[in-house]
Amino acid sequence: MRVRYRVLVLLGAALLGGCVSSLDQVTRTGQSAVQMRSYQERAFDTADKEQTLRSVIATLQDLNFVLDKADLDLGMVTATKLSGYQLRVTVTVRPRGETQMLVRANAGYEEEVVKDPKFYRDFFAALEKAMFLTAHEVD
Amino acid sequence: MRLPRAIRQGLTSAALVALAFPFLGGCQTPPESAMALSPDAMKLRQLQTRRVEGIDEKALLAASVGVLQDLGFNIDESETQLGVIVASKKRSAIDTSDIAVSALESLIIGMVAAALSDDHESEGDINFDVTQKIRISIVTRPALDSSGQPRPDAQVIRVTIQRLVWDDEGNLTHAESIEDPKVYQKFFDRLSKSIFLELQAE
């Protein structure tokens, strides 16, 4: 009975997922990289990487996240929010030319990348307030 | 031309499972408000934040690690250059008041169920929260002086705490951030003692 149920679940998943090998998940994106970056990235007019990261951390704390990791040299922060659900965000900060910092956020929710542009807009709106700077869209 | 019964049943079940999948796994979007500042964000910030005078950032981080050790946390991650410490601990989640309430609820539900039917199998199945993982992140930053410059001798510290709770069958029952002011008050009380010790040791 258990075995048959398992077969049925697999069959159901295959019908729905179009027979994707689970290993394909390693390199699967579902969207073009350009498309994803368009809503996950913003540029800020500052050359101060440390201050930008500190503002990202403060913003995440304001949004009720608890940090998982932070690294100034690599320019990255990972944090988790628990609020009846589990949401994990990684934010990277790297220089863009001499005068700007490029901030990229990407979030995972229930084993999927969050693809809702509004989600990222909300994050950058909160970050703008913490930075006292405007977030520029990046082409 | 009818398919054999076993196959027909199988197909029906497969169809049901396939239909259930979008509800189980699909539509992975977090709640609308997940990244929006909540109305009590400022209140939370206040109860999670303290300003500490007469200490540099590294000493404050060291004092914070001391408190975490006093409280039995293990340090998972630290980045001194950004003023970040992350720690966690796994502990019992058994709350006596919680058990009393659940037991009473189950008793009442059981009695009602028994009164309504002769089926006694519906009784029982009381699950308790037994383990919890508590995670804490501590973030420091230099306080700013009147001209907006960072001060080396005054810091701002913000603590955020969250927990995951599992019941006796290993099911996740709560995933929440801790917003109880008393928890933060107790933490900061301990921190001021630890800062005192840290400054004396210097």
A63, A72, A84: residue with CB nearest B79:
A72
Distance from CA of B29 to the nearest CA of A (A): 6
The reported pLDDT for the residue numbered B23 is: 46
The reported pLDDT for the residue numbered B75 is: 97
Residue B34 token pair: 């997940």
- Per DSSP bridges, beta strands B74-79 and A76-82 are unpaired
User: Residue A17 pLDDT > 80, yes or no?
Assistant: no
What span, in angstroms and rounded, lies between the C-alpha atoms of B197 and B191?
10
User: Residue A2 pLDDT > 80, yes or no?
Assistant: no
Cα distances from B79 to residues A39, A76, B3, B72, B161, in angstroms, run: 28, 11, 65, 20, 18
Nearest chain A residue to B164 by CA distance is A82
The reported pLDDT for the residue numbered B22 is: 45
B35–A86 CB contact, under 8 Å: no
Give residue-wise pLDDT tens across range A45-93.
999 999 999 999 999 999 999 999 999 999 999 999 999 999 999 999 9
Percent of chain B topping pLDDT 70 = 71
Which chain A residues are closer than 8 Å to B7 by Cβ? none
Ranges of beta strands (E only) in chain A are 41-44, 66-71, 76-82, 86-96, 100-109, 112-113, 136-137
Cβ of B158 under 8 Å from any chain A Cβ?
Answer: yes
Mean pLDDT of A104-119: 91
Which chain A residues are closer than 8 Å to B141 by Cβ? 54, 58
Which chain B residues are closer than 8 Å to A71 by Cβ? 79
The reported pLDDT for the residue numbered A21 is: 72
Give residue-wise pLDDT tens across range B178-202.
999 999 999 999 999 999 988 887 7
The reported pLDDT for the residue numbered A25 is: 77
Nearest chain A residue to B44 by CA distance is A62
Mean pLDDT of the residues in chain B = 83
Give residue-wise pLDDT tens across range A122-134.
999 999 999 988 8
Cβ of B149 under 8 Å from any chain A Cβ?
Answer: no
A12, A68, A72: residue with CB nearest B86:
A68
Total length of chain B: 202
Query: Residue B59: which pLDDT band, with cuts at 50, 70 and 90?
Result: very high
Query: Residue B95: which pLDDT band, with cuts at 50, 70 and 90?
Result: confident
B13–A65 CB contact, under 8 Å: no
Nearest chain A residue to B173 by CA distance is A84
The reported pLDDT for the residue numbered B107 is: 64
Cβ of B157 under 8 Å from any chain A Cβ?
Answer: no
Give residue-wise pLDDT tens across range B67-89.
999 999 999 999 999 999 999 99
The reported pLDDT for the residue numbered A76 is: 97
Range among A135-139, B32-36, B158-162 with highest mean pLDDT value: B158-162
Distance from CA of A98 to the nearest CA of B (A): 22
B29–A107 CB contact, under 8 Å: no
Q: What is the DSSP string of chain B?
A: -PPPHHHHHHHHHHHHHHHHHHHHTS-----GGGGSPPTTHHHHHHHHEEEEES--HHHHHHHHHHHHHHTTPEEEEEEGGGTEEEEEEEEE---HHHHHHHHHHHHHHHHHHHHH-S-GGGS-----EEEEEEEEEEEEEEEE-TTSPEEEEEEEEEEEEEEEEEETTS-EEEEEE---HHHHHHHHHHHHHHHHHHHHH-
Mean pLDDT of B109-115: 63
Task: Return residues 72-131 of B near A (CB < 8 Å).
Answer: 76-77, 79, 81-84, 86
Domain range summary for chain B, segments of one domain joined by +: 5-201
Range among A1-15, B83-97, B134-148 with highest mean pLDDT value: B134-148
Query: Residue B165: which pLDDT band, with cuts at 50, 70 and 90?
Result: very high
Domains in chain A: ranges and CATH: 31-137 (3.30.310.80)
Mean pLDDT of A37-43: 92
B28, B38, B164: residue with CB nearest A110:
B28
User: Residue B26 pLDDT > 50, yes or no?
Assistant: no
Percent of chain B topping pLDDT 90 = 59
Tell me what ipTM this predicted complex has: 0.79
Distance from CA of A32 to the nearest CA of B (A): 18
Which SS3 state, helix, strand or coil, does residue A73 take?
Answer: coil
A-B Cβ pairs (cutoff 8 Å, strict): 139
The reported pLDDT for the residue numbered B29 is: 79
